[in-house]
């Protein structure tokens, strides 16, 4: 059976998703947000409790953009499972109040490559100039593309790609996002690591028009993250809190899709060790899932209370 005691391979998680459709036929459907360079599906879960209101807004949770950040897809599937199985009244209420889209693997080729060949792979797997491979999918989105904090060297870990949306992964996912029927209330992107919560923009130090609301919701979300295990998060707007970085999905969702609450979590662990940071022990998947669920629930409630 599928569990959160171990990190899973891509096929395991795709089968788990398909089994959920069989188990919850009235609530769960599979969506395919396009495909990868190597032809894999960008497969996700749509969770829509039919007993809710008819005019629900959506919340989109994207994970696994960077291949080696294994805690990201693990947390996304943990959260999806909570939406379906939790007995907690708060979670059950929010599960019914929105249409949820959960995409555990936005970069499936890269994830498979971290299992087969190189645990530390980050980018996509498309061939590029200079015999190098891959584009940083979180520098490839078409909003102020490559303006800052992105490389034009195909061998760089932050290569922005030859043009905006050069990668099938970002191109088809962005098209899918544009075509969703419900108005999108929130866009969430899960990465690791450093224990940060981030909001737009990465392309400029200019703050978004609703930055006070974004900060207010940020404070609630960081407080809730700490409640269960004392896990400390910091953060703020990407440009000042970490580094200038244009072409991310977080900026694009805010700037192009007009989603007013767009956040990026950098999950456990804290610290700066490149070698250990992406190798969070599997024993921390469940605690990370629990505290991140706490944070997301309070975040959504806080944002909904403002609007």
38 is an active site residue? no
Taking CB under 6 A as the rule, does residue 71 contact ligand 0X9? no
With CA atoms as reference, report the closest residue to 249 among 235, 263, 260: 263
Tell me how far apart the alpha carbons of residues 38 and 117 are, in angstroms, rounded to a whole number: 15
Specify the stretch interacting with Zn ion by CB under 5 A; choose among 8-16, 39-47, 149-157, 190-198.
190-198
Using the structure block, give the residue that is written with the tokens 């959160």. Answer: 4
Report the 10 Å Cβ neighbour count for 301: 17
C-beta separation of 173 from 106 below 8 A: yes
Taking CB under 6 A as the rule, does residue 189 contact ligand 0X9? yes
Specify the stretch interacting with ligand 0X9 by CB under 6 A; choose among 7-15, 73-81, 247-255, 288-296.
247-255
Taking CB under 6 A as the rule, does residue 135 contact ligand 0X9? no
Taking CB under 5 A as the rule, does residue 105 contact Zn ion? no
For residues 225 and 238, which CB has a smaller minimum distance to ligand 0X9 in the complex? 238
Kindly state the tokens that stand for 76.
Answer: 């996304």
**For the chain, the helix, strand and coil percentages under 3-state DSSP, each to the nearest 5:** 40, 20, 45
C-alpha triplet 108, 7, 59: angle, nearest 5°? 60
Taking CB under 6 A as the rule, does residue 66 contact ligand 0X9? yes
Least Å from the CB of residue 138 to ligand 0X9: 4
Least Å from the CB of residue 182 to Zn ion: 27
**271-290 mask for ligand 0X9 (x: CB under 6 A)?**
--------------------
Among 20, 184, 221, 238, binds ligand 0X9 (CB under 6 A): 238
Kindly state the tokens that stand for 224.
Answer: 């809730």
Taking CB under 6 A as the rule, does residue 250 contact ligand 0X9? yes
Taking CB under 5 A as the rule, does residue 191 contact Zn ion? yes
For residues 137 and 208, which CB has a smaller minimum distance to Zn ion in the complex? 137
Report the 10 Å Cβ neighbour count for 255: 18
**161, 165, 167, 170 alpha-carbon torsion, rounded to 10°:** 130
Q: Which residue in 266, 291, 298, 307 is the catalytic one?
A: 266
For residue 168, what is the DSSP state?
Answer: H
Tell me how far apart the alpha carbons of residues 75 and 186 are, in angstroms, rounded to a whole number: 17
| Residues of this chain that bind ligand 0X9 (CB under 6 A) | 66, 69, 138, 189, 191, 198, 202, 238, 242, 245, 248, 250-251, 264, 266
Q: Which residues are catalytic?
A: 266
């Amino acid at each position: 059976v599928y569990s959160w005691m171990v990190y899973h391979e891509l096929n395991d998680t795709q089968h788990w998703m398909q089994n959920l459709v069989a188990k919850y036929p009235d609530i769960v459907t599979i969506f395919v947000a396009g495909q990868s360079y190597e032809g894999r599906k960008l497969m996700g879960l749509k969770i829509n409790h039919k007993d809710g209101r008819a005019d629900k807004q959506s919340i989109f949770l994207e994970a696994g953009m960077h291949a080696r950040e294994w805690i990201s897809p693990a947390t996304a599937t943990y959260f999806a499972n909570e939406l379906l199985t939790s007995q907690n009244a708060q979670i059950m209420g929010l599960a019914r109040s929105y249409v949820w889209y959960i995409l555990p693997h936005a970069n499936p080729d890269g994830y498979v490559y971290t299992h087969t060949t190189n645990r530390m792979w980050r980018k996509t797997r498309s061939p590029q100039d200079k015999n190098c491979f891959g584009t940083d999918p979180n520098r490839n989105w078409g909003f102020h593309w490559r303006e800052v904090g992105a490389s034009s060297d195909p061998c760089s870990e932050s290569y922005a790609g030859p043009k905006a949306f050069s990668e099938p992964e970002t191109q088809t996912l962005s098209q899918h996002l544009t075509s969703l029927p419900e108005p999108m209330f929130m866009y969430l992107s899960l990465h690791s690591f450093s224990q940060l919560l981030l909001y737009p923009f990465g392309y400029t130090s200019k703050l978004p028009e609703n930055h006070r609301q974004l900060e207010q919701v940020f404070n609630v979300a960081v407080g809730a993250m700490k409640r269960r295990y004392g896990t400390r998060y910091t953060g703020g707007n990407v440009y000042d809190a970490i580094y200038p970085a244009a072409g991310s999905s977080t900026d694009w969702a805010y700037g192009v899709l007009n989603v007013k609450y767009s956040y990026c979590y950098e999950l456990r662990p804290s610290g700066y060790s490149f070698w250990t940071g992406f190798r969070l022990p599997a024993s921390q998947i469940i605690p990370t899932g629990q505290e991140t669920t706490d944070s997301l629930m309070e975040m959504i409630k806080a944002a909904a209370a403002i609007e």
